[in-house]
């Protein structure tokens, strides 16, 4: 059993306030799998389109250098950063802007393990989508990011917090 | 050929500013069919999800009595109004609120020719949908409303404005 996490513990998993609230309401979870199952149900069935946009808005643009980027974002983008060259970074900045102009939100991709050329190719391919199609793909990518972050949350807490059952 | 309509002429067809702008940029249209074809392309391929939400926000709740409701909205809802009873109106108000709470936008239906009991049944059925599914259905209903209004615009203008070809 996980420790009884509160709303603010889930904020680092997704920028949707309602997601954090619903996760806190659904906890405690028996294990990570249970938490992931609830997270998927909440994200796809209970968060409305405004909540999705709110979550997307919490992400920095892929490849953007900003002091406000979280440690987890940095870790997720470490392969992208390691494979970036000056020209691919410039191209990424240009295509990020083009994408935002067309779709009205940041290009979202679960960057973990992906190099900059792969991300750029994906961005160019997805740019051709209809806005509603792309909106749903972005939500699926956000779900992958939430899954990675939930796993990190469980791992971190297991190291630092005595669990309820161990008390 | 239609008269050379401007952005403000299309604002009464949809609350999305970008829709009006793109329609003005695509005009003049050879006839209503040409305009409808362009409108569909613009609405589904060029308006992003924020634009869809902007258009939805321009609609009054179905059955709501408000002095700011446009004449076209009133006409579209005339069957609903004629078939409304006190109890169905109350139920509609309650379900509209429930719908908005779940999805974050107003319940949209092309009301033309539909009675209140039919609208209420549709609302209750659609309430069960996932938010993203409902978002796309709402956009399809908005497209039907745009089609009706474009037809009205052509009809009105045909009566009041000498067309370019007739000059």
Q: Specify the DSSP class assigned to residue A47.
A: S
B chain contacts of residue A131, beta-carbon cutoff 8 Å: 45-49, 52
- CA distances B56 to A11, B48, B91, B100, B136, Å, are 29, 13, 21, 11, 12
Are the Cβ atoms of B136 and A139 closer than 8 angstroms?
Answer: no
What does pTM read for this prediction? 0.85
User: Which residue did the predictor score with more confidence, B131 or A78?
Assistant: B131
What is the average per-residue pLDDT within A78-106? 87
When scoring B131, B137, B141, B142 by the number of chain A Cβ atoms within 10 A, the one with the most, hence best to mutate, is B131
Is residue A18 a contact partner of residue A46, using CB atoms and an 8 Å limit? Answer: yes
Is residue A27 a contact partner of residue A5, using CB atoms and an 8 Å limit? Answer: yes
What is the least distance, in Å, from the CA of A158 to any CA of chain B?
34
**Bond into A101 cis (ω within 30):** no
Q: Give the helix/strand (H/E) hosting B138.
A: helix B131-160
The pLDDT score that the predictor gives to residue A7 is 86
The pLDDT score that the predictor gives to residue A166 is 38
Its sign, for the CA torsion A134, A140, A144, A149, is positive
Say which of B44, B48, B105 has its CB closest to residue A104.
Answer: B48
Which of these is catalytic: A59, A114, A126, A149? Answer: A59
Are the Cβ atoms of B130 and A53 closer than 8 angstroms?
Answer: no
Both tokens assigned to B3: 């008269």
The pLDDT score that the predictor gives to residue B104 is 97
User: Which residue did the predictor score with more confidence, A23 or A60?
Assistant: A23
Which residue is it, tokens 């002091």?
A: A67
Is the pLDDT at A156 greater than 70, yes or no? yes
Is residue A23 a contact partner of residue A42, using CB atoms and an 8 Å limit? Answer: yes
User: Which residue did the predictor score with more confidence, A153 or B69?
Assistant: A153
Both tokens assigned to A85: 């060259």
The pLDDT score that the predictor gives to residue B17 is 95
Does ipTM top 0.90? no
The pLDDT score that the predictor gives to residue B143 is 97
pLDDT in tens, A13-52: 999 999 999 999 999 999 999 999 999 999 999 999 999 9
Instruction: Report d(CA A95, CA B22) in Å as an integer.
Output: 22
Write the DSSP string, B39-105.
HHHIIIIIS-HHHHHHHHHTSPPTT---TT--HHHHHHTHHHHHT--HHHHHHHHHHHHHHHHHHSS
- Annotated active-site residue A59? The verdict is yes
What is the average per-residue pLDDT within B72-78? 74
The pLDDT score that the predictor gives to residue B20 is 96
Is the pLDDT at B31 greater than 80, yes or no? yes
Are the Cβ atoms of B104 and A131 closer than 8 angstroms?
Answer: no
Q: Specify the DSSP class assigned to residue B114.
A: -
What is the average per-residue pLDDT within A81-91? 79
Say which of A44, A48, A135 has its CB closest to residue B102.
Answer: A48
Instruction: Report d(CA B115, CA B96) in Å as an integer.
Output: 16
What is the average per-residue pLDDT within B52-74? 79
Provide φ and ψ at B42, rounded to 5°.
-65, -50
Instruction: Report d(CA A3, CA A77) in Å as an integer.
Output: 29
Q: Pick the residue from chain A with its C-alpha nearest to B129.
A: A45
Among residues B165, B74, B158, B80, the alpha carbon closest in space to that of B122 is found at B80
Residues of A with CB under 8 A from a CB of B: 44-53, 102-105, 130-132, 135-136, 139
Confidence grade of residue B66 (pLDDT, cut at 50, 70, 90)? low
- Entry field: residues in chain B: 167
Say which of A45, A130, A132 has its CB closest to residue B130.
Answer: A45
The pLDDT score that the predictor gives to residue A51 is 97
């Amino acid at each position: 059993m996980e420790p009884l996490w509160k709303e603010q513990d889930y904020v680092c998993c997704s920028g949707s306030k309602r997601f954090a609230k619903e996760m806190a309401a659904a906890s405690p979870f028996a294990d990570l799998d249970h938490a992931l199952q609830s997270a998927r149900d909440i994200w796809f069935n209970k968060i409305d389109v405004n909540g999705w946009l709110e979550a997307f808005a919490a992400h920095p643009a892929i490849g953007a250098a900003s002091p406000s980027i979280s440690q987890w974002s940095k870790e997720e983008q470490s392969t992208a950063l390691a494979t970036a060259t000056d020209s691919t970074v410039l191209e990424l900045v240009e295509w990020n802007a083009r994408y935002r102009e067309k779709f009205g939100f940041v290009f979202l991709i679960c960057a973990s393990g992906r190099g900059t050329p792969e991300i750029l190719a994906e961005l160019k391919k997805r740019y051709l989508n209809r806005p509603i199609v792309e909106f749903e793909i972005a939500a699926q990518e956000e779900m992958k990011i939430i899954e990675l972050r939930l796993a990190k949350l469980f791992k971190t807490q297991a190291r630092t917090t005595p669990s309820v059952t161990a008390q």
